[in-house]
Amino acid sequence: MKSYTEYLWFNTKQRREIIHITDTVREIVKKSGIKEGFALVSAMHITASVYVNDLEEGLFEDIWEWLEKLAPYRSDYKHHRTGEDNGDAHLKSLLMHHQVIVPITKGDLDLGPWQRIFYAEFDGQRRKRVIVKVIGE
């Protein structure tokens, strides 16, 4: 078994953004030369997420609305006692998860017909990274 690792860097213009990264991950898988295995795609920050779902603007709006209902931005989070103001971003990350594992078959991502990979930023406007680790044969 072999592995291949690359890092993706993001510095979003907005505090909250969703970025489609499927094509980038696909290129990393091809560079790896691995034909059968898995790609781990993981946000390396506690206020960001990586998830798999549909590439559809209405769904993005639904996701933001859902997250705001469950973990709204507000000033009274106990986490803010540390001097930060991103308590909601930590909770949103927990809801969306920080990583996905995607199968690789015949040297390509083996996604369902509508599945795409996304990086979700909940406390952006600063440099953050995602690890893509491809493992297999």
Percentage of residues in the chain having pLDDT higher than 70: 100
What residues contact residue 22 under an 8 Å CB cut-off, 6+ apart?
55, 109, 111, 116, 117
* Residue 32 banded pLDDT, cuts 50, 70, 90: very high
**pLDDT of 88:** 98
Residue 65: beta bridge partners? none
Element (DSSP H or E) covering residue 60: helix 57-70
* Sequence-distant contacts of 87-94: CB under 8 A, at least 24 apart: 88/122, 89/47, 89/122, 89/123, 90/46, 90/47, 90/122, 92/47, 92/49, 92/67, 92/120, 92/122, 93/43, 93/46, 93/47, 93/48, 93/49, 93/122
**pLDDT of 102:** 98
**pLDDT of 99:** 98
* Residue 54 banded pLDDT, cuts 50, 70, 90: very high
Indicate the pTM of the whole model: 0.96
Which regions of 11-98 does DSSP assign to beta strands (E)? 17-20, 37-43, 48-53
34 touches 4 (CB < 8 A): yes
**Distance between CA atoms of residues 129 and 134, nearest Å:** 16
**pLDDT of 94:** 97
Cβ-based neighbour number of residue 121 at 10 Å: 25
Architecture of domain 2-136: Sandwich (2.60)
Q: What is the mean predicted confidence (pLDDT) over 38-61? A: 98
* Residue 24 banded pLDDT, cuts 50, 70, 90: very high
